[in-house]
Amino acid sequence: MIKLYVIPPAFGLRNTGPFGLKCEMALLHLKQEFELIPTGDPRTGPKHKLPYIDDDGTVIADSELILQHLDAKTNGGLYGHLSDEEHADGIAFTRLAEEHLYWMMVASRWLDDAWWPHIVSGFFASMPFPVRHIAPVLARREVRKTYYLQGLGRHTLEEQKGFCRRDLDAIARKVGDGPFLLGEKLTVFDFGIAALLAGAIDHQPASWVTDIAREFPPVADYTERVQVATGAHCREAV
């Protein structure tokens, strides 16, 4: 059976990492048997990031590579029916969400002083003393450095909010007519985009990215539709 290693629940989210939720959606969609294994330390994975899978001894890290593996395993169950144009559109919006918007979601959690205590309690509280006091400070320093190197971290907060708003506006226009990113049919690209948005919309408390996402009701509606269609919900059951 496939083992899917993901970030443990936090911030009111059941599957906290967007990339792990994306894989969970794909596995459910393909009706593959799998076990979800929350793990606190991304360094256990071969690329020191989560998620990764262990499919009967074949270990694969990175959500897109995992999806490629699942596609091959199911004879094109994820990408097989897509036209070249649909594929191009899907890849472009995936990169917008996962390689641009994602970093602002990370910053809105890790680098916002008001949100920071939730990162500490959500990710580090269960660690032994004194690690639980040192590890968050070092991790936050790494996130700040990475955000700066990515480029978004060089902008003022107001400028970052502008980038975020333009990303969400593009997604809202694309999914507005819906029901899904590419129109009538649910596709593999909905998994990554909706998983990312779901975390940003549903995490507790709201962050500055959440506040901007709420300016675009089609985005929240779309995110909900994909969660219902796949059966993978981001929120912890209450």
Ligand X SMILES: N[C@@H](CCC(=O)N[C@@H](CS)C(=O)NCC(=O)O)C(=O)O
**Segment lying near ligand X (by CB under 6 A), choices 31-39, 62-70, 71-79, 173-181:** 62-70
Q: Which of 38, 42, 153, 179 binds ligand X (CB under 6 A)?
A: 42
Residue 145 phi, psi (nearest 5): -65, -45
- Written as six digits, the tokens of 4 are 């899917």
CA distance 126 to 107: 23
User: Is residue 62 a contact residue for ligand X (CB under 6 A)?
Assistant: yes
The maximal CA–CA distance of the chain, rounded, in angstroms, is: 54
- Written as six digits, the tokens of 130 are 């004194």
**Binding string to ligand X for residues 1 to 40, with x set by CB under 6 A, is what?**
------x---------x-x---------------------
**Segment lying near ligand X (by CB under 6 A), choices 59-67, 130-138, 158-166, 222-230:** 59-67
CA distance 17 to 9: 9
Q: Which is nearer to ligand X, 8 or 77 (CB)?
A: 8
User: Is residue 94 a contact residue for ligand X (CB under 6 A)?
Assistant: no
**Start-to-end Cα distance in the chain:** 29
User: Is residue 136 a contact residue for ligand X (CB under 6 A)?
Assistant: no
- How many residues form the binding site for ligand X (CB under 6 A)? 11
User: Is residue 49 a contact residue for ligand X (CB under 6 A)?
Assistant: yes
CA distance 140 to 131: 14
User: Is residue 103 a contact residue for ligand X (CB under 6 A)?
Assistant: no
Strand 2-6 vs strand 52-55: parallel, antiparallel, or unpaired? antiparallel
Site of interaction with ligand X (CB under 6 A): 7, 17, 19, 42, 48-51, 62-64
